[in-house]
A = this chain, B = another copy of it.
Amino acid sequence: MSFIETLKAAWSAQDSLACVGLDPDLSRLPAHLPRTPAGVLEFNRAIIDATHDLVCAYKPQIAYFAAISAEQQLLATIEHIRKVCPRVPVILDAKRGDIGCTAEQYAIEAFERYGADAVTINPYMGRDSAEPFLRYADRGVLLLCRTSNSGAADLQDLMVEGQPLYERVAMLVAQQWNVHGNCALVFGATWPAQMARVRALVGDMPFLVPGVGAQGGDIESMVRAGQTANGTGLIINSSRGILYASSGRDFAAAARGEAIKLRDTINRSRHRS
């Protein structure tokens, strides 16, 4: 199955649009865990064990592993997801982007080394920089469109012929880059009105939506703005709000509680077909 098919099956089977972001920050691990790569792996496994029936995807953020030389633990985290919930897709959050021959190497990193179902990439270098990822037709390619941070406005909101740059990105992706039907967009939860416009531009293309929870995006207005006609279309990610719900020995149970809350809050605003 392709990423998009796996994702649709997970939306349905799990009855969830929630995604847990695995951003294991050493300084925020529960106090009883060692602040080492081994501690990170133990933490991730416990979070996955506690949430695997609640999510449509996991999103490991490679930066947190790279900063502590934990490539092996990233691999082992993904292996654990495969073992516990083989039908839940893994989105490697890497935001890569480079000229073609270098992008080929990044595609190998994401799709072959780590075996990710999908990867986030940066569109600034244009179509030929995305092509080596897009060629993996069974994998997903999630292009940054409108991000959730305040500085996003610096470039993404600049007006190009009466239209903000992020809308141009959305249209380029939908009309030109999506020849294999494996594209998705990254769209921050903090901009529901803008998300509704982009939804109208790109049809049913999935959106990965960071920025709920710690970043403060309002879930209900965002789900109403971004869902497709059948009440899906969104991969709504929370990282810190779930991972660090408790710093005690009950961290996994607390994470499960937050993940249930996220799933249910989302589901209350979904169209039901």
A156 pairs with B126, CB closer than 8 A = yes
Q: Does A268 contact B (CB under 8 A)?
A: no
Task: Tell me if A127 is interfacial: C-beta within 8 Å of chain B.
Answer: yes
- Pick the contact of A151 from B25, B109, B125, B215 — CB < 8 Å? B125
Tell me whether A69 and B71 are in contact (CB under 8 A): yes
Is the Cβ of A125 less than 8 Å from the Cβ of B105? no
Residues of B within 8 A of A108 (CB): 67
Among residues 140 to 154 in chain A, which have CB atoms less than 8 Å away from a CB atom of chain B? 144, 147-154
Cβ of A258 within 8 Å of any chain B Cβ, yes or no, is no
Interface centre among A131, A150, A151 (most CB of B within 10 A): A151
A14 proximal to B (CB < 8 A): no
Evaluate whether A149 and B123 lie within 8 angstroms (CB atoms) in the complex, with A67-B113, A168-B158 already known: no
Q: A251 interface residue, CB < 8 Å from B?
A: no
CA distance A129 to B172 in the complex (A): 24
Query: For the complex, is A31 an interface residue (Cβ under 8 Å from B)?
Result: no
B109 near A125 with CB under 8 A, answer no
Q: Is A137 located at the chain interface by the 8 A CB criterion? A: no
Contact with B along A153-184 (1 / 0, CB 8 A): 11110111100010011001000000000000
Asked if A126 meets B149 with Cβ closer than 8 Å, knowing A159-B160, A165-B155, A165-B158, the reply is: yes
Residues from chain B with Cβ under 8 Å of A126 in the complex: 147, 149-156
Within 8 A of B (CB), among A60-92: 61, 63-64, 66-67, 69, 71
- Give Cα A25–Cα B105 distance, bound, in whole angstroms: 9
Contact with B along A179-203 (1 / 0, CB 8 A): 0000000000000000000000000
**Shortest Cβ distance from A204 into chain B, in angstroms?**
23
Q: Is the CB of B124 within 8 A of A124?
A: yes
